[in-house]
Amino acid sequence: MKRFYLYLCILWLSACAAQPAKLPTSERLVGVKGMRTASLRNAMLSQNLELGSPVYLRLFKKETLLEAWVKDGEDEQYSLFKKYPICNYSGKLGPKLKEGDRQAPEGFYWVGAQQMNPWSQHHLSFDLGYPNAYDAALGRTGSHLMVHGGCKSDGCYALTDDVIEDVYLMVEASIANGHGVPVHIFPFRMNESSLVLNQDARWSGFWENLKQGYDAFEETHIPPQIGIEKESFSTISYLVSKQEPQI
């Protein structure tokens, strides 16, 4: 069967970054910025990183961990700024399949200005963009899947209010400078031992596909380009293109 490819504006593609950033604001967000921006900027500067540089987030379900990576100055590669605990998520290991299954998603997502929510009932939040084109091609449904504060989850990834303030400000500053934020969500750290330990026949192929994106970043410290490869209506996978650092 002839294979064809669809490249999606969901992660790290130049068309995404080129979109104008009309960021929403609120009285709450203004207050958060007044209290938190200086300390966050200083913490980043202590690691030779700048608030407003491109940001990349990795989430790990089993480890209940969010990693915030920041582009390192003129270098193309990203440096780990901080690891934050995920306070809560709902569901089990495995992807979200349908509206109402209370399952937090796994996969490759991308956050832009319209997904930021400074009025959230959960303090602050941003929408992951579920379903992305990959999810939609598989008939997966759901809406308003967020990273937010408040520690309560109904299909989302919940952080403490202090943590969401830092993460939200980094994501917003990156978008304000024209850099949409890739958010890669994994069931666990995608090494071979974890795949063996967490074997699940339903998701083994999907997780091996996610591992390609995990491995690409581990090797280069540059978020990979992501598309989808569609061989048939039932055979769809993420297409990962590793970005090599320029020498």
Asked if the model's pLDDT at residue 1 lies above 70, the reply is: no
Quote the CA–CA distance of 25 and 59 in Å, as a whole number: 25
pLDDT confidence of residue 11: 37
pLDDT confidence of residue 233: 59
Q: What is the pLDDT of residues 191-203, one digit of tens each?
A: 999 999 999 999 9
Question: How many Å separate Cα 101 from the centre of its chain?
Answer: 21
Stretch 225-241: mean pLDDT, rounded?
86
pLDDT tier at 234, thresholds 50, 70, 90: low
Question: Class assignment of domain 21-209?
Answer: mainly beta
Q: Is 148 a catalytic residue?
A: yes
pLDDT confidence of residue 245: 83
Q: Which of 9, 156, 184, 221 is catalytic?
A: 156
pLDDT confidence of residue 170: 98
- 64 by DSSP, 3-state: which? coil
Main-chain phi, psi angles of 108, to 5 degrees: -110, 115
Residue located via tokens 């967020």: 146
Q: Is 151 a catalytic residue?
A: no
Closest CA to 89 of 12, 175, 155: 155
Q: Which of 9, 87, 123, 148 is catalytic?
A: 148
Asked if the model's pLDDT at residue 19 lies above 80, the reply is: no
* pTM of the predicted model over 0.95: no
